[in-house]
Structure 1
Amino acid sequence: MVEEVSTRSGAHLSVEGVTVQFGGLTALSDVGFEVRPGQVLGVIGPNGAGKTTLFNVVCGFTRPQQGRLTLDGQVFRPAPQRLVRSGVSRSLQGLGLFPGLSVLENIVAGGGSAARTGWWSGLLALPRTDRDERRLHERAGALVDELGLGAYAHAQPGTLPYAVSKRVALARALVSEPRLLLLDEPAGGLGHDEVLELGELITSLPSRGAGCSVMLVEHHVDLVMQVCDELVVLDFGRVIATGVPEVVREDPAVAEAYLGAEVDAS
């Protein structure tokens, strides 16, 4: 199991031979790929291809029957409550904002400070806890400014436009300064201009701060073509293509499985 890791550069995630079965249904079959340090990797495929199951495996919501994950060369057995401690953060399709907290408080909640400082430090209110909490609030404030959330900092999630809620969820995922960021359908429900802004932000992640690798699960073809260094294409739980977007886009198997309409229209 990976514990707290260095934040010197983006993480290296390796998925090897992962198979997931639900009863008699095989959701993933011998899936393998890598997210290399500083890379933005996109996972695409038609509905039912296994994208959500794969995302859940990497987040620790689903345990595979076969295969393994490694993070920076160490066996990685993810659990949702320990992701931040491993240098991993996620932004979920369903947002998951806390209704009783303000925007700023929601962002701070993504820092996982108890996991980072240790249970005893938090219980005893040692100086390290105070120091970490100050840094966490500083990072949250910086993200509020960076993502244009200043006007909403003290608002409740239920009062926010959907596009703003998406930015809050992304800020909450970034506040822990992850080395690996997992994004599930971040463009869902966004307009054209908002998708362009999101794309610019995602492409900046590998070079910001200590660096960040990104695994992006997304239906929005224009976005993945814009931001991803490499793509993994799933169909019926199997990897049918990998490579740079320009090559994957021209792959006949991909066009048949998923991209046909978009490719023909481009």
Structure 2
Amino acid sequence: MSPPSPDSPDTGTAGTGIRNTGASLELRGIGVNFGGLVALEDVSLAVPAGSVVGVIGPNGAGKTTLFNVVCGFVDPSAGTMTFEGAPFRPRPHQLARRGIVRTLQGVGLFRGLSVLENVMAGATHTSKAGFVSSLFGLPRSDREERRLRTEALELLGEMGVADQAGAYPETLPYAVRKRVALARALVARPRLLLLDEPAGGLSAEDIDELAALVVGLPARENACSVMLVEHHMDLVMKVCTAIVVLDFGRVIASGTPDEIRENPAVTEAYLGAEVSS
């Protein structure tokens, strides 16, 4: 399967095989140059509402640069972006208020705060008072803080780590910290969640459990679309409704996991062998 042309009637986004049915995020013709280096060239993709879209490719393909464009850390030299149908010019400090949250390749939890406090900290932009005020002894709404605490505990329960609410991150296994970081992202009630290598450092069993969590994200009460960058192909193939493949900054293929698995261009550029389901 080769990427369809920009005029293809089967896609609402140029250069991808992903049908745009109410896209949460849409990128068209994104280009990024670092001096004389072309990091991204004419990259177009859509993350439809209620979907999990994976971005894969070999090292240096432009995956992290693409994420940084979406987050506003890198300004594209060409192309446009829309989010929920409106033109989108991202700025890092405004992402959460726009409904976009990104997790880090590591965990990025705060030392000195308990697991529960770490999760509550993720909702500061939605809280009228509560957590931040309580940290500094400022006047606050006890009702709002109780609501936030309850929501954080419920999310820890969803992640299967509610029993660690009072623990400190540095005392916990890495896989548990990853779940806490995911809960902290979700407490912000994102409409688009950007997962940056969420399987990094996890065992095969942990990756299977993570897959079950990610697959369920679009179906949650506070549902969100998901865009993820990942090297672990087992996770990508299990959780993604669509996959975009980058190589040397360009989209070389896109489609369903089955289509990507069978694409010889992908095998040559990145996978190197048939991917098992």
For the 8 Å contact 2:261–2:275, the answer to whether it is kept is: no
For the 8 Å contact 1:11–1:213, the answer to whether it is kept is: no
For the 8 Å contact 1:85–1:116, the answer to whether it is kept is: no
| Counterpart among 25, 39, 46 of residue 34 in structure 1 | 46
Distance 1:58 1:132, change over 3 A: farther
Aligned counterparts of 1:132 and 1:62: Cα–Cα separation in 2: 36
Tell me the CA shift for residue 233 of structure 1.
0.2
* Greater displacement, 206-215 / 225-234: 206-215
| Counterpart among 255, 259, 277 of residue 247 in structure 1 | 259
Q: What residue in structure 2 maps to residue 94 of structure 1?
A: 106
- Does residue 256 (structure 1) correspond to residue 268 (structure 2)? The answer is yes
- Does residue 54 (structure 1) correspond to residue 66 (structure 2)? The answer is yes
- Does residue 110 (structure 1) correspond to residue 99 (structure 2)? The answer is no
> Greater share of helix residues, 1 or 2?
1
- Does residue 166 (structure 1) correspond to residue 142 (structure 2)? The answer is no
Distance 1:131 1:240, change over 3 A: farther
For the 8 Å contact 1:11–1:180, the answer to whether it is kept is: no
For the 8 Å contact 2:233–2:275, the answer to whether it is kept is: no
Tell me the CA shift for residue 159 of structure 1.
1.5
- Does residue 81 (structure 1) correspond to residue 96 (structure 2)? The answer is no
| Counterpart among 238, 243, 246 of residue 226 in structure 1 | 238
Write out per-residue CA displacement over residues 73-95 of structure 1, whole angstroms, 9 at most, x where no aligned residue: 11112222221111111111022
For the 8 Å contact 1:95–1:165, the answer to whether it is kept is: yes
Tell me the CA shift for residue 150 of structure 1.
2.5
- Does residue 191 (structure 1) correspond to residue 222 (structure 2)? The answer is no
Distance 1:264 1:79, change over 3 A: closer
Aligned counterparts of 1:165 and 1:149: Cα–Cα separation in 2: 9
Query: TM-score scaled to structure 2, two decimals?
Result: 0.84
Q: What residue in structure 2 maps to residue 204 of structure 1?
A: 216
Aligned CA-pair RMSD: 2.2
Tell me the CA shift for residue 251 of structure 1.
0.9
For the 8 Å contact 1:15–1:70, the answer to whether it is kept is: yes
For the 8 Å contact 2:197–2:231, the answer to whether it is kept is: yes
One-letter amino acid of the counterpart of residue 90, structure 1 = R
Write out per-residue CA displacement over residues 166-196 of structure 1, whole angstroms, 9 at most, x where no aligned residue: 1111111111111111000000111111111
Q: What residue in structure 1 maps to residue 228 of structure 2?
A: 216
- Does residue 43 (structure 1) correspond to residue 80 (structure 2)? The answer is no
- Structure 1: state its 5+ residue gaps: 1-9
Aligned counterparts of 1:140 and 1:53: Cα–Cα separation in 2: 31
Tell me the CA shift for residue 17 of structure 1.
1.0
- Does residue 237 (structure 1) correspond to residue 249 (structure 2)? The answer is yes
Ranges of 4+ aligned residues in structure 1 off by more than 3 Å: 115-118, 129-134
| Counterpart among 72, 76, 79 of residue 84 in structure 2 | 72
Aligned counterparts of 2:166 and 2:146: Cα–Cα separation in 1: 18
Aligned counterparts of 1:264 and 1:193: Cα–Cα separation in 2: 18
- Structure 2: state its 5+ residue gaps: 1-21
Aligned counterparts of 1:89 and 1:111: Cα–Cα separation in 2: 11
User: Residue 272 of structure 2: SS of its match in structure 1?
Assistant: helix
Greater relative contact order: 1 or 2 (C-alpha under 8 angstroms, separation 6 or more)? 1
